[in-house]
Amino acid sequence: MEAELALDGLIKRLEYAKERDDLYGAIFELRDNIGVDHLVYHWVNSSGDQYGCGTYDQVWVDRYLEKGYLRIDPVIQGCFQRFHPVDWKQLDWSGKAQRAFLQDAITHGVGNQGFSIPIRGPNGQFAAFTASHNCSDEEWGAFTEKNRRDLILIAHYFNQRALELEPGRTPDPAPSLSPRELEAMTLIAIGMNRAQAAQELSISEHTLRVYIESARFKLGAMNTTHAVARALSRGLIVV
């Protein structure tokens, strides 16, 4: 991997992007300049629609969509719940489905290392910018430590250009959650189980479940985890 990122050149390349297809050319050039296996910009709106621009093999992109990996991808879930960049080793890969997903990703050339940057734009817009590579922990740690700042700047600049080129890609207006629904969702988001959250709010677990299910319905989420992710991405709750 390259020792340093030619930041000015990378940003200038993005400035030349005039339409969405130009972003594909830019991200491939960025990848080659940085010297990693892959760079990916992944955007998910409040309805679950996705927009991706990256260097992954199309076979893996199609498989990701076909398998519905968005629902279990620890990278996306982790970025939903964070505001700071995250190394993939910090994410929860303990579940059977998550481990199988990781192995499938590595088999398709994604790489065994990753560094993802959550991005929150106007009106609750959410995206993640990811660099991934196949190397040792020591090599990856040195690379991310040295280039962390530049990667963050590139990620936010790329997101800015994507929004400028896709002005219609704006999330739906955020729903209104009641104070109790917000409290319940916040406690779940910070890692409390339902018994702990109910005790913290001095209510029964049944009542807590009513608040969570009501919030989930308003957010149009498939389950509690999905509801928490949507609430975080829209700025309804902050942890």
Q: In 3D, which of 150, 143, 95, 120 has the Cα closest to residue 230?
A: 120
DSSP E strands in 90-170: the ranges are 113-120, 126-133
Report the C-alpha gap between 178 and 156 in whole angstroms. Answer: 32
- Fold exhibited by the domain 179-233: Arc Repressor Mutant, subunit A (1.10.10)
The answer, as to whether pTM is greater than 0.75, is no
Token output for 119 = 């991005």
| Residues 158 and 129: beta-carbon distance below 8 Å | yes
| Residues 137 and 19: beta-carbon distance below 8 Å | no
Token output for 221 = 């989420």
Report the C-alpha gap between 77 and 92 in whole angstroms. Answer: 10
pLDDT attached to residue 166: 67
Tens of pLDDT, residues 187-210: 988 888 999 999 999 999 999 999
Architecture of the 7-165 domain: 2-Layer Sandwich (3.30)
Domain ranges of the chain: 7-165, 179-233
Tens of pLDDT, residues 38-88: 999 987 655 556 677 899 999 998 999 899 888 899 998 888 777 789 999
- Phi, then psi, of 56 in degrees rounded to 5: -60, 150
